[in-house]
Structure 1
Amino acid sequence: MNFTFLTVLATGGLLLGMLGMLEIGRRIGVRRLAHDLEETRPGQTAVEGAIFGLVGLIMAFTFSSSLTSFETERQLIGQEVSAIRTAWLRLDLLRADDQAALKELFRQYLDSRLEMYRKLPDTAAGKAEFARSVKLQDDIWQKTITACHESGVTSSWALLLPALNQMFDISHARALAARIHPPKVIFVMLSALMLLSALLAGYGMAGGKSRSWLHILGLAVSLSATVFLIYDLEYPYVGVFRINAMDQMLVELRRSM
């Protein structure tokens, strides 16, 4: 099922849940006030402030984590482009015959890297393409080792092999970064605290003669939209805010080959 649809469904459910908890909290507050007209709230205000503060703290940390993951992925793309370009240029250290075969493998490798991210959010297809790119890495490495032996030029070893290592390492770093996310329990806890804060907010609005829909919708929509943004940024290749534009750098590099 489409990731964006699931995210919208989840945040939509959270929005409706908050609206429901606001209404429940208000009705509880109205009933309480009807029996206790002289109710004091200092202690209640302290509890509400603590819970609202906790919601804000967890939301700030998760948003910061998501934004950092998004930015890290962007930086890794730039590093991969640079590493592939460097290794490509250093192929000129080899003999002409070896260069032709390796350059063709490089083109296939870059095509595979681009195709892997194009296939997302189809995880199975993405994993299959990643396995293909790893196989091409092995082919490039073995072919390069053989070419370096045959050339007999020590400078090709010192310059080309480290460049290949860096190119391969960055591809694995990107794969690892795509798998690192906050534990799901963090989002569950954040959602539960948001529902609880909505209940307390509704209780606090019980003193009004009528419902303030501006405040009710403002609270529920803003918090739900923030959760949607946090979760979407965590998965930059499958959500609404995608990082595909950065892959254009790889596309341009492929065209230059």
Structure 2
Amino acid sequence: MNTPRPHPTKPGQPGARDPFGVHLRHWRTHRRLSQLDLAQEAEVSTRHLSYVETGRAAPSREMVLRLAERLDVPLRERNALLVAAGFAPMYRQRSLDDPAMASARRAVDLVLKGHEPFPALAVDRHWNLVAYNALVPLLMEGASAELVTPPVNVLRLSLRPDGLASRIANLAQWRAHLLERLQQQIAATGDRVLVELHDELAAYPVPHVGHDTPPAGGELSGVVVPFQLVTPNGVLSFISTTTIFGTPVDITLQELAVESFFPADAQTAAALPALVAQAKAQAGAAG
């Protein structure tokens, strides 16, 4: 069993009623910056920053946004900073089904559809499945009904023993990779839900995978971590990339990620077109 490295200290995010200085101190310490470091980054005096943090001075809206930018605070939490300082929130959060988000939804659907015959899916900030293309349901077959009933959490689906875990040929390698990605996301966002998800995933038993497929070597060794899934068509091996919106001003878009999988070997590339045709036929029959 691979033992993941401990994730960063569990963040105790301030509550909605906490003053601005508490929020500021949380993010400054979370980013491991001294008051002097942050003052230099934000081009303000250390004394003024100290007064703002202790509540002796009230920040302007411009100052709140400048500090949030220097601290790389996610848009969702920038709203919390603004409210704590007495200002209206700046960033909206709308469902992808909102008419105002139609262009973004089309862009996501184009990416997913255009990636066929390879699998691709979109997830929110907590790794809940938002959208996917034709091949994804076929790869999820065999998982328990609970795990594929919306909202579907793709990390839970991947690593729970009654999910895909028993079918992942390089489970220990893939598990360590997912937990490491989650640790990085926690460090960036300070999201308590992700901390709880990490602890849940790390506590899952690692089932014995009775397949002889070793961790990928050759050209992939030391470059990427493959996802190797055992299917009736043999072991399908993928490498993945993550796509995010470049300049989002909406919370939903900032937190949306598209995971695109590419065949890592010739056998997988050859098998995928037939699998997509099978998936579409199944979807047509069900509809």
What is the TM-score with the length of structure 1 in the denominator?
0.27
Larger radius of gyration: 1
